[in-house]
Amino acid sequence: MLKINGLYKRFGDKEVLCGLDMHVPANSVFGFIGRNGAGKTTTMKAVLGLIKTDAGEIFVDGERVRYGETQTNRKIGYLPDVPEFYSFMTAREYLRLCADITGMDKNEVASRTEELLTLVGLDTEKHRIGGYSRGMKQRLGIAQALFARPRLLICDEPTSALDPVGRKEILDILSAAASQTTVLFSTHILSDVERICTDIAFLDGGKNALCGKLADIKAKYRADEYVIETENAEGANALLAAFPTLVADGCALSLKDADGMLFDVLRFVSERGIPVIRVERSEPSLEALFVEAVEK
Amino acid sequence: MRGFVAFVKKEFTEQLRTGKLFMLAAVFALFGIMNPAVAKLTPWMMEQFAESLAQTGISITEYEITAFDSWLQFFKNIPMALIIFVLAECGIFTKEYASRTLVLCLTKGLTRRRVMLAKTFVLSILWSVLYFACFGITYAYSAYFWDNSVVCSLGFAVLGWWLLGMLCVALVPFFSALFDANTGVAAGVGGVIVASYLLGLIPRLAEYTPAFLMKSAPLMYGQADSGEYTYAVIVTAILIVASVAAALPLFNKKQL
Ligand SMILES: Nc1ncnc2c1ncn2[C@@H]1O[C@H](COP(=O)(O)OP(=O)(O)O)[C@@H](O)[C@H]1O
Ligand SMILES: [Mg+2]
């Protein structure tokens, strides 16, 4: 859906992007992760043809993006990091303007407007946009981005400025939107990514430090590691005595490089009747992956 | 075309709901009424001063007010109206740079060319309607009190100032493509008009400058023929077209 090859961008003497490659597959929910100032917004603006890049090429659905031109943008819905709308309009009037700009079929405008306002929960709002809260603007932002049924939805940190309830609402809306379009959103909040993303890219030092399907990346970095937590210290000590390779953290014992040893441990537990709170396969956290990828 | 029309509609809604249209309409209507009113009241004011002036030794001869005085007021006040218009509207582009509202329209496929032309179109309609409304009011009152026909080439003199206003309108997109702040735009427009005025002080160049169109008195007294203004009209028209034409590529390359 979106392909970025060797993208370079510098502001003054500051290299923000230096050779970014990225591929966003169709129908994915793509999490674009990077710390503040990593260049996420810059990359997105380049995709929209809003800033001039120094080198590299960008293709949206096979079509080359050019600075200052808006051809490829017909396929994209965009929500900027701080969306601002004409404050003297109401949400309905604004969507009407969007419909006219994109040339949407006139018979469809009214029904599409209601559909989207309902999706983002602004259908009963009658006031002008000037009086909207941050979260309401963010939701209207998603409505206008989705309005013309874009093939690609680009959201720049849609959840960063919101409280937990507002964040959950936005994530739910994005998940719902994902059934109809490819979603690319940037964030520095890793839990949001784990919640809805199918694919991710870590942006660091102007390059992609890690990129691919979330499941694949997790599988690749998954050290076969299990955690078994006993109810009391005696149980833990008995296990430690029998299996010296276990690493203890209080009553939680972690077991690396299982290779069948897990079953020996479990057999030991069942024979001795050791009370257990949990046994689980430990997933590598995105944080750990991020740190690892960045340090490489 | 639909995008253009929608954007023009948006601009007019904005002018209306932000109160700008009302403010400008009030200013231009006030000027329109004041021109004949001041002329009408001049004899009365003279009378009030006459006594005190007589004491200082100045005597006032009887002076008959005609439509002429009303139109002299008109051409004296219209520069102020134009300045107010430019100051009120010079932020029509820059305001949207600052609020970043334009970005969303552009990313929806509205071309920058349409945005620029729509705003320029709205400004020229606004200027034309306000200006001719002001003219119409003065004309109607003057016709009621006196006789407008004493003024020579009135239509041409009026069109001259309208064209000058259109030049200011056309300079707004040009300087908005160059500058990010409305102060830059206002200074740019003002700068061009002042420069043209200064060039006009050089006798050899005078008739080629837009500022030449400001000389409405010779036309009104019948001392000058409208044909003498041909070069000024042509130069101004060329500047208008050139300004908009140059603004297009500049605006296309502008970082928003
Ligand atoms: N217009 C600009 N002029 C100069 N520097 C800029 C400009 N835009 C962004 N930058 C710099 O580029 C870097 C990346 O910015 P940005 O893409 O906004 O990061 P992110 O969205 O990941 O937080 C930042 O260090 C920022 O200071
Ligand atoms: Mg950003």
Instruction: Please identify, by atom number, the ligand 1 atom nearest to the C-alpha of residue A39.
Output: 17
Residue of B190, B212, B193, B192 whose CA lies nearest to B201: B212
- pLDDT computed for residue B58 by the predictor: 66
* pLDDT at site A69: 76
- pLDDT bracket for residue B182 (50, 70, 90): very high
pLDDT of residue B225: 84
pLDDT 10s digits, A11-38: 989 999 999 999 999 999 999 998 888 9
- Is A41 touching ligand 1 by the criterion CB < 6 Å? yes
Q: What percent of chain A has pLDDT over 70?
A: 98
Nearest residue on chain A to B249, alpha-carbon basis: A68
How many beta-carbon pairs under 8 angstroms link A with B? 74
Cross-chain residue pair B101–A78, CB shorter than 8 Å: no
Average pLDDT value over all residues in chain B = 91
**pLDDT over 70 for what percent of chain B?**
97
Q: Contact, B123 vs A105, CB < 8 A?
A: no
DSSP-derived secondary structure letter, A181 = S
The CA distance from B190 to B211, in Å, is 12
Instruction: Output the six-digit token pair for B234.
Output: 């042509």
Using DSSP's 3-state secondary structure scheme, residue A171 falls into helix
Question: Is A39 close to ligand 1, i.e. is its CB under 6 Å away?
Answer: yes
User: Is the CB of A11 within 6 Å of ligand 1?
Assistant: yes
Determine how many CB atoms are found less than 10 A away from the CB of residue A37.
10
The complex's ipTM works out to 0.87
Q: Give the Cα separation of B210 and B219 in Å (integer).
A: 16
Mean pLDDT across A265-272: 89
β partners of residue A186:
A32
B1 touches chain A (CB under 8 A): no
pLDDT digit string, tens, across residues B120-175: 999 999 999 999 999 999 999 999 998 888 888 888 999 999 999 999 999 999 99
Q: Which of B136, B157, B150, B251 is nearest to B212 (CA)?
A: B157
Q: Which ligand is nearest to the CA of A160?
A: 2
**Tens of pLDDT, residues A102-125:** 888 989 999 999 999 999 999 999
Report the C-alpha gap between A117 and B110 in whole angstroms.
23
Across A125-129, A178-182, A221-225, A259-263, least confident range: A221-225
pTM: 0.83
Q: What local confidence, expressed as pLDDT, does residue B61 receive? A: 65
Q: What is the band of B62 on the pLDDT scale with cuts at 50, 70, 90?
A: low
Q: How far, in Å, from the CA of B76 to the mean position of ligand 1?
A: 51
- Name every chain B residue with its beta carbon within 8 A of the beta carbon of A68: 112, 252-253
- Determine the Cα–Cα distance for residues B20 and B32; give it in Å rounded to an integer: 18
- Domains present along chain A, CATH in parentheses: 2-219 (3.40.50.300), 223-295 (3.30.70)
What is the average pLDDT score of chain A? 89
Given a cut of 80, whether residue A293 has pLDDT beyond it is no
Instruction: Copy the structure tokens of residue A280.
Output: 């689980």
Contacts of A51 in chain B (CB under 8 A): 255
Would you call B13 and A84 a contact, using CB atoms and an 8 Å cutoff? no
* pLDDT given at position B79: 95
- The domain ranges of chain B are 2-253
- The per-residue pLDDT for B59 is 65
pLDDT band at A258 (very low <50, low <70, confident <90, very high): low
**pLDDT score of A35:** 86
**Amino acid residing at B70:** S
The string of pLDDT tens digits covering residues A63-77 is 999 887 778 888 899
Ligand nearest to the CA of A13: 1
Yes or no: say if B70 and B36 are a contact pair by the CB < 8 Å rule.
yes
> How far is C-alpha A164 from the chain's CA centre?
16
Tens digits of residue pLDDT in B20-46: 999 999 999 999 999 999 888 887 877
